[in-house]
Structure 1
Amino acid sequence: MKRIQTRVMALFLILILLMNGISFILYHLSQQTIDQYDEMLKRFLLYNDISNRSSGLVDELQAYLTDKSLSFYESYLRQKRELAERRQALLTLMDRPAYPIEMKNYSSLIDSLIKESEEVILGFHQEDLYLTSSHYRETQQISGFIQETTLSMINLELSQYHLLYQRMIDRNDALQKMGWSLYGAIFLLGMLLAYAFSNTLTSPIRQLAMAAKRIEQGDLNGENLKVPGRDELSFLTESFNRMRSNLRHMVGEIIKKSELEQELKQQALKNSEMDRLLKEMTLRSLQNQINPHFLFNTLNTLAKSAYVEGAEKTSDLITSVANLLRYTLKEREQKTTVAEEIDHVREYVTIQQARFGTRRIRVSFHLDQELLTEPLPLLTLQPL
């Protein structure tokens, strides 16, 4: 996971590297100008040193010719060696001189001075006065030429220095302008990077705030938020999406549970109403059971009273009515037999004969005895 802190550090590192890069470029360009100025100053010093060495070489040579001292000879050799070193240093320093002809002539004069001084020493050692004096005069003359040429070279360098100085001023102005321009560009780039970076932070936060406000208003059905990258904000957004999904699931479960509880309450109310109706029906059934029993007992009492009083027909009629009523009030689900159904019909016939007489109503039964025990639903045989 890329952390936001890493991105911040990378942003600051980029800005620091850019600033240091600009500073290094400006320093390098300034250092080039300083190096050019330093090389010119070294050449001035080297010209002066060559001029002094050439004069010193002639002086040491004259002292040796006059005194013939070994110390003067060693001084001469040292001056000659150092003059040759200065010549080589000048050639090395001016690898590509601005005025090659003058530099070549100047170097040739130094070589000629060294060679003529060697010829003087050679003639002196051979005790050839003419050779010694002629070469010594050449040495003095060449030394004078070197002095004059040195002044000419310095004048050329000074004229070159004026051009260099003007270029240095122009370059410094250009560097200053370029520096301000680059620093301004870096500032604008830094602002753009800071804006882009801050936008990558604030945009997901704004989305989270808006989504949280919708949740506060009860809206849990928004689309999942998407944040590019794998940093803390991405992890926070994924956690928020999971939280909203869990809330949506929990609210759905609560709604389903509430609906189920409501259905259970309604079912409980229905069951309670059914229990009440069942109890009421049971009570009515008990009441209905009480009334028929009371009626049966009353009819039995009347039948016995009529029999005691000698009214046998009345007693039989009351008994038939009681039996008919008792059979009719049986439970409908209760099974009966063919014989019981026939007895029920006989009781009905007895009552009708009592009403209309045996002459008007005559009934005969022809039954198969094997069928009398067969089961039947109650009141299968309905007397009209």
Structure 2
Amino acid sequence: MINIKSLFKVLTTRPGNAQRSLKTQLISRLVIIVLVIGGVSIISYFVFRATIDQMRIMVETTMIANNIIQPAQEIPNTLWSFYYNKQDTDREKIHDNLAVIQNNLTLLSANIKDEEGMDSFDSLAAILTTYEELITNALQLNEEIRATSITHAADEEVRDVSSLVQGMVREFTVFMEELVKVSRFIKDAIEELITTELSYYHTVNVELERRSNLLGLVVLLVIVATGILSIVYAVIYFSRVTGTISRLAYSAQKIANGDLEVERISCSTDDELSILAASFNKMVDNLR
């Protein structure tokens, strides 16, 4: 069992003959208590912060992934609109949607850390690469159709030109059908990625919750232990201080009443009380 007096002696003594004032000792003990409680609080904060960060990343990952679905679904319709209406605004919208997809893909790569998530991400990135290639080919073919129609509109070999254009249109239609299929694959790949990441973060959160519970128990034990030790130290320390002061007061009262047969005051502390006790003992010796 811990010897409380020995513990108190360790807390109140220092190497050498240097002395510390009562104020210094009290402040130093208070600082130790504050540092212990503060350190525990800081550790708790960082653990809690880690949990919040994991939840934030999980939500961000889901939102970023979902932000890819909408522009990917819009591009085929916009491309058909560009094919029929020949409006440059539609082409700009297609490029804007591709930029949005690429930007979200970059953000997504920064949030994924687990191996299974990276596999799903690589699969999604490959599908998006194919998707972008199909869009590029469809746009180029659309330009060729427009150029062929304009260039050969007055040509005598109308039937040959018509056959050429029809072949291009059929090829364009095939591109568009593939584009729609790939856009569905993109949605499926994103849903798979989200499911994988949610499963990963569920595992991470379970581990963080376990650590948080363990840390909470440790924090509680540290706070309780610090409180108990602080109370024990305060009782012992102030008992010594008040005991010494009380003996000095009663001895001084006896001397004032003419009784010089007083006991010597002993004080084992290294502070003003030891100086006061030594001075009092010397004064008594001189009076005798």
TM (norm. structure 2) is 0.73
Distance in 1 separating the partners of 2:51 and 2:66: 23
User: Aligned to 2:182, which of 142, 154, 161?
Assistant: 142
Distance change in 2, residues 1:100/1:242 (3 Å): same
Distance change in 2, residues 1:108/1:189 (3 Å): farther
Q: Which amino acid aligns with 1:57?
A: I
Question: Deviation per CA, 1:88-120, whole angstroms, max 9, x where unpaired?
Answer: 111111144443322211121122212221222
Question: Deviation per CA, 1:179-202, whole angstroms, max 9, x where unpaired?
Answer: 322221221232243245335524
Question: Deviation per CA, 1:108-154, whole angstroms, max 9, x where unpaired?
Answer: 11222122212221222233545533333322221110111222223
Bigger relative contact order, structure 1 or 2, given CA contacts below 8 A and separation 6+?
2
Q: Are 2:124 and 1:82 equivalent residues in the alignment?
A: no
Distance change in 2, residues 1:195/1:111 (3 Å): farther
Question: Deviation per CA, 1:279-328, whole angstroms, max 9, x where unpaired?
Answer: xxxxxxxxxxxxxxxxxxxxxxxxxxxxxxxxxxxxxxxxxxxxxxxxxx
Residue of structure 2 in register with 1:277 after alignment: none
Question: Deviation per CA, 1:168-218, whole angstroms, max 9, x where unpaired?
Answer: 543443333223222212212322432453355245436646765886753
| Kept in 1: contact 2:114–2:200 (CA 8 A) | no
Q: Map of 1:10-89 to 2, 5 A cutoff?
A: 10-89=28-107
Residue of structure 2 in register with 1:105 after alignment: 123
| Kept in 2: contact 1:57–1:79 (CA 8 A) | yes
Residue of structure 2 in register with 1:175 after alignment: 215
Q: Map of 1:291-310 to 2, 5 A cutoff?
A: none
Q: Based on CA coordinates, which of the two structures has the bigger radius of gyration?
A: 1
Distance change in 2, residues 1:191/1:121 (3 Å): same
Distance change in 2, residues 1:98/1:11 (3 Å): farther
| Kept in 2: contact 1:61–1:73 (CA 8 A) | yes
Q: Map of 1:1-384 to 2, 5 A cutoff?
A: 2-127=20-145, 128-129=168-169, 131-199=171-239, 201-202=241-242, 204-205=244-245, 208=248, 217-219=259-261, 225=266, 227-229=268-270, 231-248=271-288
Distance change in 2, residues 1:58/1:198 (3 Å): farther
TM (norm. structure 1) is 0.56
Residue of structure 1 in register with 2:160 after alignment: none
Distance in 2 separating the partners of 1:28 and 1:182: 17
Aligned CA-pair RMSD = 2.9
Q: Count how many residue pairs are aligned between Structure 1 and Structure 2.
A: 246
Q: Structure 2 regions of 5+ residues with no counterpart?
A: 1-18, 146-167
Distance in 2 separating the partners of 1:68 and 1:6: 85
Q: Percent identity between the aligned chains? A: 21
**Aligned to 1:219, what secondary structure does the other structure show?**
coil
Measure how far apart 1:38 and its partner are: 1.4
Q: Structure 1 regions of 5+ residues with no counterpart?
A: 249-384
Distance in 2 separating the partners of 1:8 and 1:166: 43
**Aligned to 2:260, what secondary structure does the other structure show?**
coil
| Kept in 2: contact 1:87–1:110 (CA 8 A) | no
| Kept in 2: contact 1:97–1:103 (CA 8 A) | no
Q: Which amino acid aligns with 2:189?
A: T
- Mean Cα displacement is larger for which, 120-129 or 62-71? 120-129
